[in-house]
Structure 1
């Protein structure tokens, strides 16, 4: 199955030689699911010709806010609405989660409760799931028709599903603990409260459920392509 990755930001320059860019993280995360990938750097205004240029889509995270005035935001929202209308399956992660909600009528803002950084646990339809997070923005109002499938006390709309067409997750199943720690070192100092960075480092060796959510992402994309 051909998956188009819509890259909405870039990993820090200092990390990229070792970790690759955000699209590389997703290719590693979803390895073994019989996918092949093409990446479009939409943050740099490189867009696919249309929603049928791939059989499914994945929107990455970004340092940008969905509500900010960047040239790529409006065309990306149009692309999301077109993919939804055409029933081409899509997965959105962090910024991807937020921009999908915004494009379909929800509301995203800088959350008054502050940052979520490092390992977080979520109630995922009655199951406890642990993932690394890195966000201050969040979906504060889900679009009409979206179903909340994961939440915690800090993030009410931690994962949303839009029928069999779109699955989005606020946390980062593509981030392992080493990546999250380095992100804290490169982008966190002076931005994220020091106590949150310390807490994240204290729990960085606790288990996370990246593989579980990768399987669910893959199954969602594959099922949507067959529908």
Structure 2
């Protein structure tokens, strides 16, 4: 199955040199699931010709806020609404989770509780999955018709579904401990409180359930490829 990656952000330069950029992280995460990928860097206003350019879509994370004034955000929202109307399968992660909610009528804002950084537990209907997080923004108001699939005490809307065609998650299954470590060093100081960075450091070597989430994402996309 051919997946179009809509790239909305870039990893820090030093991280890209060693672990690749965000699309590469998703390709590693989803390796072995029968998927091929083409990336469109929408943050550079490079968009697919139409929603049929791939069989399914994946929207990456970003350092930008969904509510910020960037020229590429309105056309990305239009693309999301077109794909949703046509029932194209789509997955969104972190910023992708947020921009899909915003495009479909929800609200995204900086969370008063601050940052979630590092390994966190998420309750998926009674089943706990531990995934890495790196965010301050959250979906704070749901679009009409959105279903909540996961939450925790810090993030009420941690995973959402829209009909049977869109699945989104706030945490980052594509981030392993090496990525979190690099973000702590390169983007954390002076931005994320020191105590939260310290907590994240303590779990860098603790396994996550990223591969369980990878299977869920891949199965979701493939099940809807020819609906």
- TM-score where L is the length of structure 1: 0.99
Post-superposition offset of 1:93? 0.2
1:124 matches 2:128: no
Distance 1:193 1:179 in 2: 18
User: 1:154 — aligned with what?
Assistant: 154
Distance 1:70 1:128 in 2: 36
Post-superposition offset of 1:9? 0.5
User: 2:191 — aligned with what?
Assistant: 191
User: 2:136 — aligned with what?
Assistant: 136
Alignment RMSD (CA, Å):
0.6
Distance 1:218 1:199 in 2: 31
User: 1:99 — aligned with what?
Assistant: 99
User: 2:6 — aligned with what?
Assistant: 6
1:69 matches 2:106: no
Secondary structure in structure 1 of the residue aligned to 2:102: helix
Distance 2:111 2:224 in 1: 32
List structure 1 runs of 4+ shifted beyond 3 angstroms. none
Distance 1:13 1:46 in 2: 21
User: 2:60 — aligned with what?
Assistant: 60
Secondary structure in structure 2 of the residue aligned to 1:4: strand
Structure 2: unaligned runs, 5 residues or longer: none
User: 1:176 — aligned with what?
Assistant: 176
User: 2:108 — aligned with what?
Assistant: 108
Distance 1:102 1:66 in 2: 7
Cα deviation, 1:53-100, whole Å, max 9, x if unaligned, reads 000000000000000000110000000000000111000000000000
Post-superposition offset of 1:226? 2.6
Secondary structure in structure 1 of the residue aligned to 2:14: coil
Post-superposition offset of 1:196? 0.2
Structure 1: unaligned runs, 5 residues or longer: none
Distance 1:150 1:82 in 2: 26
